[in-house]
Structure 1
Amino acid sequence: MAELLHAWAIAPAAIGACCLAADRGRARWPDAAASVLMLVAMLDAALTRLVAPVYWAALLIASAMALAAWQGPRGRRASAAQPRPGTGMAVHTGLGLIAMAALQLGMGHDPLAAASAAAHGHGGGGAVLMTLLLGGALAYAAFSVLLLVRAHRPLDRAQLACMGVSVLLMAAASL
């Protein structure tokens, strides 16, 4: 069931990436690159496992930091020809990278083995990790809904909805 949920999480992520690529109203190539990176990491985790989840997580977190630096007040000069993307969308993309990194790490753990280890007194770190992952995914989905309600552009709405759904499906798959 987890593999099916993970595969279903790829579809909204791909749709969101397409919506971002189709948005010609704004120059948002860093967001598009982040979206493609998340999609590639999800595809690898679901299909091939060529790259270890810890390396994907490190790359996703480094990308979130680079995206924050790029979109920060000193990272890029704003001009009339190239308006700055919405702050909410920029934060949403960065948090999406962090959420995907956490889920990459969390999906590598077997929740049944973690529960068994906790029951036998060998530590309960897996249960705590799963609780944190689920809480983070729910918080990210709530933030997505908040931005979705405030968004005016249809492509922004589609991207927000797709990322929120994708993170929730991946969190469900990690359970």
Structure 2
Amino acid sequence: MTELLHAWAIAPAAIGACCLAADRGRARWPDAVASAIMLIAMLDAALARLVAPVYWTVLLLASAMAFAAWQRPRRAAGSRAGSTPGPMTVHTGLGLVGMAALQLAMAPQPAVTIAATAHAHGAVGGGSLLSVLLVGGAAAYAALSALLVLRAHRRLDRAQLICMGASVLIMAVGAVL
């Protein structure tokens, strides 16, 4: 079931990436790179498993930090404070962090490890603290996505926000089952 939900999460992520690529109104190549990294990580984790999930997690977190550094507000000459980052920038950065957590949570584990972890501390699924945090974080991200959808003026931005929120929610459900 987890693999099926993981595969289903790819569809909205792919649609969101296509919406971003189709957005010729703005040059947002850092967003496109972030979207491509998330999509490739999801495809590999769901279909090929060529790269260990922990490495995808590291790459996604490193990408989130690089994205934040690249998108940080620039100070104008003579200005004391920079502008705040745009909502799409914040959404993309949080999406990278959320996908990193979900990649690690959805990683296949040997049966012995799952049984030992579930007995000792609570594995992902079954009402553990990690499950609550993952679902809570995914729900918060989906709520942020919904809020940004209501405020977005462009159709492609709304589509991208809806797709990313849906993808994270589907992956969170898959992680806790």
Instruction: Give the TM-score taking structure 2 as reference length.
Output: 0.86
Q: Counterpart in 2 of 1:104?
A: 103
Residue 124 (structure 2) pairs with residue 123 (structure 1) = no
What is the rounded CA distance, in whole Å, between the counterparts of 2:105 and 2:17 in structure 1? 23
Give 2:137's aligned amino acid: G
Over the aligned positions, Cα root-mean-square deviation in angstroms equals 2.3
Contact 1:63–1:97 (8 Å) recurs in 2: yes
CA distance in 2, matches of 1:99, 1:45: 15
- Letter of the 2:121 partner, please give it: G
Residue 163 in 1 paired to residue 176 in 2? Answer: no
Q: Deviations 1:95-140 (Å, cap 9, x if unpaired)?
A: 0000000000111266x978854774x2236422121111111110
1:33 corresponding residue in structure 2: 33
Is the Cα–Cα contact under 8 Å of residues 44 and 50 in structure 2 kept in the other structure?
A: yes
Distance in 1 (alpha carbons) for counterparts of 2:89 and 2:118: 42
Aligned to 2:9: 9
Q: In structure 1, what is the equivalent of residue 140 of structure 2? A: 139
Contact 1:114 1:125 in 2 (8 A): no
For the residue of structure 1 that corresponds to 2:107, the secondary structure is coil
What amino acid maps onto 2:92 in structure 1?
T
Q: CA deviation at 1:17?
A: 0.2
Change (3 A) 1:118 1:66: closer
TM-score, reference length from structure 1: 0.87
Residue aligning to 1:66: 66
1:61 Cα deviation (Å)? Answer: 0.6
1:75-90 aligned within 5 A:
87-90=86-89
Alignment size in residue pairs: 166
CA shift in 2, pair 1:107/1:74, >3 Å:
same
Question: Could you say what secondary structure the match of 1:140 adopts?
Answer: helix
Instruction: Answer whether contact 2:45 2:53 (CA < 8 A) is retained.
Output: yes
Deviation at 1:165, TM superposition (A): 0.3
